[in-house]
């Protein structure tokens, strides 16, 4: 992937490439971190990384899984920091986002169950179920094989919903 | 409802609006990235020297810890080889006094000594006994070993009524099993304010990872330095005592001094 020569052209190309990925990146970060401010920080940090490294990418088709992988990595680092842990533990369900809708018990339970998963398991289920990514693209984000990702997904579903039939869950 | 739909409902209902987010993030990146890039290049250049400094610090800390442990061991070894001297003649005369501790039936209530208000002579308010030596409650269950239970307690001495050497012997009144004394783990003999384990050596026990010699008695020498109390207050001596697993925990102390004999009973 080659950028144009001038700064203006380079900036425009960067905005065109990365712009559409910011929103899914934010949704991924929000589901991973459960904190809107921390999620935006993670996406912003991922965007800085993208700015530095995007010129080295040869395959434009791999940009989305690559960028989401960077976001996931920023989320992992963010959760290691104590301040994020404190924020997340304190407000796990309502987040820092005002919502006019009443939060359903089912949604609360699911968010709580997802939060209890390990980082890699949580990443797979969020990408698959929330970002609606196909399994091979999920595998590209997590940098593992499709088979290993499938196994991780099945395992995580069992942890989330032990009573649910797998085929039903995968619909 | 499928799990996928559940996911969307669960996370969408708490997700804020993302309107303008994309432009904001991209514009921030374009505005700040060049400056950050310069800083990061500088940081990258500094990373190797900083890593080296960190590694050297780590090595220095490890070496310091090793030297510290070694010094502590040497100091303890030296101290053990040079225990504080006590007046052996006086000690023998106190040891010659027979034990008069009562036996209490295993199903009887432990006859714990009365509490005395000693608040005028230090920070403690009430302690067991009628004096001139008073005992704190047993601060037990500090640790348990295969042999028994270990913990600490304090003895406060009314130095207006007695001074010099004081011999402490203890046993579990309901099982007649002897309680034993040892050094506080990682403490050297004769540390200010500590009682001195003495008398017959009755074995070893590994307490908090340290192999300790066990003694049948403890000696308090009020002429030795002590810490933790002001000059006008009665001194406090700290003791480290253990009793066997099978003991009931009704501990009787026979405390003999030059001019008195006292019994104090406490319950663990």
What number of residues does chain A have?
A: 171
pLDDT tens per residue, range A97-123? 444 444 456 788 888 889 889 999 999
Q: Tell the residue number behind the tokens 């990373």, with chain if given.
A: B47
Rounded distance, CA A66 to CA B248, Å?
Answer: 67
Whether A16 contacts A50, CB under 8 Å: no
What is the pTM (predicted TM-score) of this model?
A: 0.46
Rounded distance, CA A121 to CA A154, Å?
Answer: 10
Rounded distance, CA B97 to CA B90, Å?
Answer: 11
Whether the per-residue pLDDT at A88 is higher than 50: the answer is: no
Q: What pLDDT is attached to residue B231?
A: 65
Whether B127 contacts B116, CB under 8 Å: yes
Best residue in A51, A71, A135, A156 for a mutation probing chain B (most B CBs within 10 Å): A51
pLDDT tens per residue, range A116-162? 899 999 999 999 999 999 999 999 999 899 899 999 998 899 888 87
Per CB-CB distance under 8 Å, the chain B contacts of A44 are: 25, 28-29
Q: What pLDDT is attached to residue A168?
A: 73
Verify whether the Cβ–Cβ distance B22 to A23 is below 8 Å: yes
Rounded distance, CA A10 to CA A135, Å?
Answer: 32
Verify whether the Cβ–Cβ distance B26 to A14 is below 8 Å: yes
Per CB-CB distance under 8 Å, the chain A contacts of B14 are: 30, 93-95, 97, 99, 103, 107, 111
Best residue in A16, A18, A22 for a mutation probing chain B (most B CBs within 10 Å): A22
**Per-residue confidence in pLDDT tens, chain B, 268 aa:** 688 888 998 888 888 888 899 999 999 998 888 777 677 666 667 777 788 888 999 999 999 888 877 776 666 555 555 556 788 888 899 999 999 999 998 888 889 898 888 888 877 778 899 989 999 887 655 678 888 988 888 888 998 898 889 999 999 999 999 999 988 776 666 666 788 888 889 888 888 778 888 999 999 888 876 765 566 788 888 888 999 988 888 999 999 999 999 999 988 7
Per CB-CB distance under 8 Å, the chain A contacts of B19 are: none
């Amino acid at each position: 992937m080659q950028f144009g020569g001038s700064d203006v052209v380079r900036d425009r190309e960067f905005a065109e490439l990365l712009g559409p990925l910011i929103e899914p990146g934010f949704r991924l970060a929000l589901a991973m971190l459960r904190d809107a401010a921390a999620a935006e920080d993670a996406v912003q940090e991922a965007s800085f990384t993208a700015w530095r490294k995007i010129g080295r990418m040869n395959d434009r088709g791999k940009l989305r899984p690559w960028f989401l992988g960077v976001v996931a990595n920023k989320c992992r680092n963010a959760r290691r920091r104590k301040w994020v842990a404190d924020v997340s533990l304190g407000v796990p369900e309502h987040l820092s986002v005002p919502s006019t809708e009443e939060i359903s018990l089912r949604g609360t339970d699911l968010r709580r169950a997802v939060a209890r998963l390990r980082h890699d398991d949580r990443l797979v289920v969020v990408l698959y179920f929330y970002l609606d990514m196909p399994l091979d693209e999920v595998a590209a984000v997590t940098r593992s094989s499709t088979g290993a990702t499938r196994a991780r997904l099945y395992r995580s579903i069992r942890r989330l919903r032990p009573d649910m039939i797998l085929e039903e869950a995968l619909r | 409802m499928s799990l996928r739909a559940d996911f969307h409902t669960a996370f969408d209902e708490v997700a804020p609006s993302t309107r303008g987010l994309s432009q904001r993030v991209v514009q921030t990146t374009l505005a700040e990235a060049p400056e950050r890039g310069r800083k990061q290049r500088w940081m990258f250049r500094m990373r190797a020297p900083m890593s080296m400094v960190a590694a050297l610090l780590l090595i220095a800390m490890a070496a310091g810890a090793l030297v510290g442990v070694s010094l502590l061991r040497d100091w303890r070894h030296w101290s053990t080889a040079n225990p504080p001297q006590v007046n052996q003649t006086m000690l023998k005369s106190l040891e010659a006094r027979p034990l008069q501790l009562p036996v209490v039936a295993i199903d009887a209530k432990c006859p714990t000594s009365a509490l005395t208000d000693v608040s005028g002579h230090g920070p403690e308010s009430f302690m067991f006994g009628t004096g001139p030596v008073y005992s704190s409650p047993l601060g037990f269950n500090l640790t348990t070993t295969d042999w028994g239970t270990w913990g600490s307690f304090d003895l406060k001495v009314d130095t207006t009524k007695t001074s010099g050497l004081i011999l402490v012997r203890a046993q579990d009144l309901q099982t007649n099993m002897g309680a034993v004394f040892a050094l506080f783990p990682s403490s050297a003999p004769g540390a200010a304010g500590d009682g001195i384990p003495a008398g017959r050596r009755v074995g070893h026990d590994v307490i908090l990872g340290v192999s300790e010699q066990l003694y049948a008695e403890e000696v308090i020498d009020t002429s030795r330095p002590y810490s933790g109390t002001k000059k006008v207050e009665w001194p406090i001596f700290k003791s480290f005592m253990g009793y066997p697993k099978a003991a009931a925990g009704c501990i009787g102390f026979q405390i003999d001094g030059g001019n008195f004999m006292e019994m104090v009973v406490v319950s663990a």
